[in-house]
Structure 1
């Protein structure tokens, strides 16, 4: 006979909040940066290996999936940077009021997007 265990009442009513989503995003952006660093190392190694290897690496990076990956790594870099600055403000003991927490969170998101788009616009010009 199988008994169904009751679910925690907190799990049934849980709704992700901005702070929890940003915290998860910070961890995810760190992983993305690590993968981007591996990609950068591979690109540099291809460059040191000769024209054929470098040409193949460039073709991969300039493909649509490659450009999407580069864009996402750029976004991860700026998000992680902006959120790190936000944490430095918190380390100073400021910004813990609820309004400041949400304003800072949305500022991190907006600034990350603006910086990413600005860099890509400047780079494509």
Structure 2
């Protein structure tokens, strides 16, 4: 029996549908939020240690790198929230068809990009 399998699969030629991109990015944003908890818990603990600790965290948070990290964390949170709501609606039995799933994924990604820009404007 002859099996017709690809010999060399070029992954750069594969185009994922919008729903797959949204699902993969939802998982990545969850991992980003998990790792960002270490930084946030540290900053919270130091800021509550006293006036010196609060001043130290305040001076760190005014730098460009800290604002960029904060923007990344808030962007991941917003994306995870929006796509998570999309997944909850799909779990209730809506947007399960191919067209509605694609449209809802594209709208969710667009809303996440808009939210990301608004968070950037708010931080800077």
Same fold per TM (> 0.5)? yes
The TM-score normalised by the length of structure 2 is 0.78
Match of 2:19 in 1: 19
Structure 1 window deviating more from structure 2 (19-28 vs 110-119): it is 110-119
Instruction: Tell me, yes or no, if the aligned pair for 2:67 and 2:123 is still in contact at 8 Å.
Output: no
Give the C-alpha shift of residue 55 in structure 1: 2.2
The alpha carbon displacement at 1:75 in A equals: 0.8
CA RMSD after TM alignment? 2.3
The 1:48–1:38 alpha-carbon spacing in structure 2 relative to 1, beyond 3 Å, is same
Q: Give, in whole Å, the separation in 2 of the partners of 1:71 and 1:123.
A: 7
Unaligned segments of structure 2, at least 5 residues: none
- The CA deviation string for residues 89-125 of structure 1, in whole angstroms up to 9 with x for no partner, is 111122122221221111111111222333454566x
Equivalences, count = 117
**Match of 2:72?**
72
Match of 1:3 in 2: none
State the TM-score, normalizing by the size of structure 1: 0.78
2: CA distance between counterparts of 1:55 and 1:41? 16
User: Gaps (5+ residues) in structure 1?
Assistant: 1-7
The higher-RCO structure (CA 8 Å, 6+ apart) is 2
* Alignment partners' CA distance in 1, 2:15 and 2:22: 10
